[in-house]
Amino acid sequence: MRALTEIRWHGRGGQGAKTAALLLADVAFNTGKHVQGFPEYGPERMGAPITAYDRISDKPIRVHSNIYEPDFVVVVDDTLLHSVDVTQGLKEDGAILINTVMELEEVRPYLNGYKGKVFLIDARKVCMATLGKYFPNTPMLAAIVKVSEIMEEEVFMKEMEESLKHKFAKKPEVLEGNMNALRMAFKEVR
């Protein structure tokens, strides 16, 4: 576990990448960390590429710039691989996590020769099996927690249960599906 972990999220407007970044900050805060979760706004519209960031640290965070040399990158939508340089500045002792049905050899050509670790997950499969609807941010959140090792799975699941119970106080029926999505995502990262 690093003293400071910096994560960059790539998604498309409407997929919840910003929400996932803020949720990750939330969970890390609950385990006693100093956090910063923030979006980078362009012209906001459904489907446009968006970037969001997390800093998770043992010490108070003062810097207010974007993250240029992240430890981890999360790609919520693999169609971005064609147009966005997702590995830009990514540290080689870090990792990239991509939501895709593709295999590693199919993804490689898009990664600009990145030498660090590459993790893949089919978030759609997880969503359809557990939620019946495609909300990729939920499995991606669990997957990046596993990849970045910022906390233990059990600690994460406990914190998420508390936070989802609060979030879905008026819709308790969706709690189980979301918890299942998180649990399954932990297993599906490859």
Residues near other proteins, by CB under 8 A: 22, 25-26, 29, 34-39, 41, 60-66, 68
CA distance 95 to 74: 9
Q: Looking at beta carbons only, is 24 or 120 nearer to other proteins?
A: 24
Q: Looking at beta carbons only, is 53 or 135 nearer to other proteins?
A: 53
Q: CB of residue 88 vs other proteins: minimum separation in angstroms?
A: 14
Q: CB of residue 32 vs other proteins: minimum separation in angstroms?
A: 9
Strand 49-57 with 4-12, pairing: antiparallel
Q: Looking at beta carbons only, is 41 or 134 nearer to other proteins?
A: 41
Q: Looking at beta carbons only, is 35 or 185 nearer to other proteins?
A: 35
Q: CB of residue 158 vs other proteins: minimum separation in angstroms?
A: 18
